[in-house]
Amino acid sequence: MKSLPYYTAAGLAMLAISVAGCSHVAAMAFGTGATRPAAGEFGVGPRVSAERRYVATLQPQQALRPRQLQSMRVSIVDARGQAVDGANILVDGGMPQHGHGLPTKPRVTKNLGGGLYDIEGVRFNMGGWWEFKLAIRGVAGADTVTFNLDL
């Protein structure tokens, strides 16, 4: 004859099995296979460009929310920390895990001086991990900076 704790343990084991049976695996069953970056890779920056020519920082004009048409300000400095003005900036992005891009065509609408640019027409059409990419062509050459944003 076993002790009461034994039966309790047996019962708890069955509970664990039954709980596990109805909790689901969080990973998407299907997708592009893209892996979500580490938590430290997320945020509005400062973010160094791929070839280290620029450092960009996003300054959203409102809290980023899904489905809203939004504006963003971006600050761009060169590797020495000098503000970069007059750069040509193209905006792109999407959801790597879903294989789709941005639902709108956002673009830089103003160069405010002091390395600040206004980007308008940004929309994220669902929550989750988004890439927001800026292709910068400025005094230090062409380079791309990619932000990982969590909506």
Partner 1 sequence: MKIHWTQIAAAVSLYPLLTAVHADTLQRDLWTPAEIEQISSLSLRALDALPPDPSNRVADDPRAVALGQSLFFDTRLSSNGRVSCATCHLPEREFQDGAPLASGVGTTSRRTMTVAATAHSPFLFWDGRKDSQWSQALGPLESPVEHGGTRAQYAHVIAANYRTEYEAIFGAIPDLKRIPSIAGPVPEAAAARAWAGLSDAQRDAVTGIYVNIGKAIAAYERRIQYRASRFDRYVDGLRQATSTPQNALSPDEVAGLRLFIGKANCTQCHNGPLLTNNEFHNTGVPVRPRLPADAGRLAGADTVLRDEFNCRSRWSDANPAQCAELEYLVTGAHTLQRAFKVPSLRNVAQRAPYMHAGQLATLREVLDHYRRAPAAPAGHSELKPLRLAANELQQLEAFLHTLSGGTTAPPMPQSVTAPNQNR
Binding residue for partner 1, selected from 37, 46, 127, 141, defined by CB under 8 A? 127
* Residues 89-108 within binding reach of partner 1 (CB under 8 A): 98-100, 103-107
Q: Does 39 bind partner 1 (CB under 8 A)?
A: no
Q: Which is nearer to partner 1, 12 or 83 (CB)?
A: 12
Answer for which of 5, 30, 62, 86 binds partner 1 (CB under 8 A) is 30
* Strand spans (E) along the chain: 47-48, 54-60, 70-78, 88-95, 100-101, 107-113, 116-122, 129-138, 141-150
| Interface region with partner 1, contact rule CB under 8 A, candidates 12-20, 37-45, 50-58, 140-148 | 12-20
80 binds partner 1 (CB under 8 A): no
Q: Residue 56: which of 67, 48, 68 has the closest Cα?
A: 48
Residues at the interface with partner 1 (CB under 8 A): 1-2, 6-8, 10-12, 14-15, 18-19, 22-26, 28-31, 66-67, 69, 98-100, 103-107, 120-121, 123, 125-127
